[in-house]
Amino acid sequence: MCCRRLTYDAQRRLQRASQPATGLRIDYRNNAHGQRIRRASGQDITHYLHDSQGLRVALALPAQPGQAARITERYLYAGQVPVAWLRYDSHGDANLYFLHSDAQGLPRALSDSRGHLAWRAEFDAFGRLLREHGGPRPSPRYPGQHADPALPWHDNGMRTYDPGTGSYLEPDPLGPQPGHDAYGYAAQRPRQYADPAGMLLYAFDGTRNTPASLTNVWLLHQLYPGGGSYQPGPGQNAWDAATASRATHIIGAQWERLLADLAAAGRQWQQEPAAIDLLGYSRGAALAQHFANQIAAHVSNQRFWAYDPLMGTVSACVDLRFMGLFDTVAQFGVNGRDNADYLLGASPAWQWIAHAVALNEHRYLFPLNSLAQGQGNLVEMPFIGAHADIGGGYLSRDTPNATRGDLSDVALAWMHWQARAAGVPLAPLPEAQATVSQPLLHDERNVFYRKTGQDRPVRHADGSPWLHSQAEHPGLGATGRNEVEAFIERLPDWMHTPGSVVGSVDMAAYEQWLARQMQR
């Protein structure tokens, strides 16, 4: 690497690679979608044509004036994996080869039209070529990648991949994500995941929550194949915590990442629509709804269309698959003054929406946005506990020995089940989250507001006023609260005793109550 000089274009795509010691110089040109469309090294100039599945045609330009350009290669695909290769000689005659790939889509052998083995290769876990026998050598590597004929790198759509280090030459164009290497490939587990187009999941955490908070949004994000795009919640400072002033920046960052993902998906996932899944907690749940409605506004007949000044027209077939929300609180600006700036509500364009609601949250400044008002593509389920007893955050990495309860694992397990039933390929829950060991109930109101009976208001899905208190809600209010009170063991004098822990829950009775709720 120290002997090579790299130049990048405005899209941060590799534009030139040179090696002064040897005189090597390769110039690249990329289109608005980040696809490589031209490679020039000396008099060897090749143009590339792409479609929704990937690289289709390589066209060699003549070295001498008056000569005709000629097609040198064509690829045929099954999904996003190349299965056949047409290689043309100087006379225009084609030789047909078949590519034989492993479970991750990495071609390991080549057979000719008579079924004879023409080429085979051995690779390490990150796709670096170790040994090969025979020829010719095809350029496809892991899905979405093509090896450069003169450099040890693979073009991977929006970035350049170095199989020698198992990382990209460029960081993620939208910045690093917590818990993920900005230069990393396929969550650093390429034999488990492939990374043909980037992120698949868009997760919005709640106020003041980060990966260290171990919220349910973060935990589910960690179970998603290949990772996803996670945004910590508002609350970087006191003003941001009070007004969510960073909310527009969070939405903007996720939107740019979505466009980058779908620009790649439009090339590589035409056989199967690009599935989009969203997660959100608290204000993050409200942001996820806005994001979902923003996406849906750009979709017609399952096709996403948007224009970006840098990427041009972004288009891909999409599957608006799943949205998992934990206790939606829309509170933007001072006391919600800016709520009208956000597109709230459950869009019917999404296949399935699951909303876990805190039955025992009472704080006035945590107003609930209830979604279940007759729409058929969602379920809204009440759970015992305050806000963070549903979305998580009481047990964090910063307090590893804390005994503040893991009641939020109940809502986590339910959301995990809902997501998998909707077709989201989540990994199994870790053992630590599979059982509840400290079913502590919280009440974050101070003693004064407990004694005065403060309760939070409920809004319609679109954010408009509905009920003065959650107690009035037919499914999430006083009836449910009274039912579960029978199996909550309250601390003595909890109404007048400072501290957020106010009792514990009989888990056996809770499970039976939940089973009845699911049958309604």
Beta-bridged to residue 203, according to DSSP, are 230, 279
Contact criterion met (CB below 8 Å) for 52 and 197: no
Residue 111 — very low, low, confident or very high, per pLDDT cuts 50/70/90? very high
pLDDT tens per residue across span 428-463 = 998 889 889 999 999 999 999 999 999 999 999 999
Per DSSP, the residues of 314-357 read: EEEEEEEEEEEEES-----SGGGTTGGGS--S--TTSSEEEEEE
Per the structure block, which two tokens stand in for 474? Answer: 């037919």
- Nearest alpha carbon to residue 203 among 353, 343, 323, 328: 323
- The CA-atom distances, in angstroms, between 519 and each of 34, 110, 131, 504, 514 are 49, 55, 59, 25, 9
pLDDT tens per residue across span 228-282 = 889 998 877 788 787 888 899 899 999 998 998 888 766 554 456 788 999 999 9
pLDDT greater than 90 at residue 168 = no
- The CA-atom distances, in angstroms, between 290 and each of 13, 76, 273, 286, 300 are 31, 39, 22, 6, 18
For residues 129 and 333, which has the higher predicted lDDT (pLDDT)?
129
pLDDT greater than 70 at residue 5 = yes
What pLDDT is recorded for position 399?
A: 47
* Cis peptide bond upstream of 348, omega within 30: no
- Collapse the DSSP code of 109 into the 3-class scheme (helix H, G, I; strand E, B; otherwise coil) and give the result: strand
- Nearest alpha carbon to residue 206 among 148, 269, 250, 257: 250
Torsions phi, psi for 37 (to 5 deg): -115, -10
pLDDT tens per residue across span 169-211 = 888 654 554 455 667 765 555 554 444 443 469 999 998 888 8
Q: Are strands 299-300 and 303-308 parallel, antiparallel or unpaired?
A: antiparallel
pLDDT tens per residue across span 359-414 = 999 999 999 999 976 568 899 999 999 999 999 988 665 544 455 899 999 999 99
